Amino acid sequence: MTSLKTKILNIELENPFLLASAPPTARIDSIDKAFSLGWGGAVLKTITPDDLEMIEASPRYASWRIGQKVCGFENFELLSHLSVQEWVAGIHYLREKHPTKVQIASIMAPVAKQEWQNLVQTLNQTPIDAFELNFSCPHGMPEKGVGMAIGTHPEISAQITAWVKEVAQKPVFVKLTPNVTNIAQIAKAVEDAGADGLAAINTVQSLMGIDLNTFKPQPNVNGKSTFGGYSGIAVKPIGLRCVAQIRQSSNLPILGTGGVSSWQDAAEYMAVGADAVQVCTEVMLNGYQIIENLKKGLLSYLESKQFNSPSDLKNRAIANLSAHKDLNKSKQVYPKIDDEACIKCQKCVMLCDESEHSALSFQNGHIELNKARCVGCSLCKQACPKLAISMK
């Protein structure tokens, strides 16, 4: 019988959907609500030493839309405003009320051995299931020498991982930044230092936009702005690439995150190596209630594939990734146009002509293909406003 139950190391999840460390996991009562609605676990909003100051900007969110749909989301929200002891009490409360739900403590501290170890040793006294080292926040925190300022340097990342592993009594995951040229290199460094698992990705450093009347960057904070972290469905291809690159060089468990808004997104992450997924932006835009469709959709898909659990899906796509030089270039595909769906706008004709090949023409009320000129690039398919073109 198919089940959504997932086991990562010694951690048992009711389902592979966790809330990422973010505003939806900033309060104990919020996590309580999410657990009651069916989330398998939560990564707590990043816990820091109490003397690491957090002063928020207002506003601190912006979005990129196509029509009414939010495709990209930017934030420069900082970390948790709860004290360490408030989190200690909250972790105990959540464990008592939701004994089967997974709690992962996201943590961050200055680059000093005692700072990291003190924080870990305090949280060791709680029933936390694992730690997630936040080496990847791209805004605000790098100015303090932490967050992405750590995760872009393999040596520093490895050193802190080793410090934490000296004292941690639970598995240690490291959350990696996509804002590097070689994420697999950072993953290898922390793996060699003793990391038990990885999480990827955190947000992509970004600048959301400029008001062309005032020339003020967005979001506008009293006339100024700063570089933020980009998330939402637009970053999923980056997240998938990063998880796949990590999986190609590491067998450590991976928590995939970045643009997960549907069960299909989750399944894709698992197919390239993720053991489970974390969700943030979609929850911020549509609420904890999305968990029901995520679970139902993934379960139905697993059943349709005759998989017993999400672990049967893991890594299914990895063998189909190769270097460009190893792609089979001996066969070519050509566009096939659905004449009934085609509205004869001739956009494909124009774009093919203006993008080198001139393989399409409009004749006698139909789109015609000159196979001798076609290279099978699929630009026509990508640009068709009616999805009337397939490649065969």
Residues known to be catalytic: 137
Q: How far is CA 15 from CA 27, 180, 183, 378, in A?
A: 22, 31, 27, 38
Asked if residues 199 and 253 have their Cβ atoms less than 8 Å apart, the reply is no
Q: Which residues contact 360 (CB under 8 A, 6 or more apart)?
A: 335, 348, 349, 352, 353, 367, 368, 369, 370, 380
| Interatomic CA distance for residues 95 and 180, integer angstroms | 36
Backbone angles phi, psi at 365, to 5 degrees: 80, 10
Quick check: helix, strand or coil at residue 252? coil
| Interatomic CA distance for residues 186 and 98, integer angstroms | 35
Q: How far is CA 125 from CA 13, 113, 164, 299, in A?
A: 22, 19, 15, 36
Backbone angles phi, psi at 16, to 5 degrees: -85, 20
- The DSSP secondary-structure symbol of 324 reads G
Tokens at residue 323, please?
A: 């270097």
| Interatomic CA distance for residues 133 and 195, integer angstroms | 10
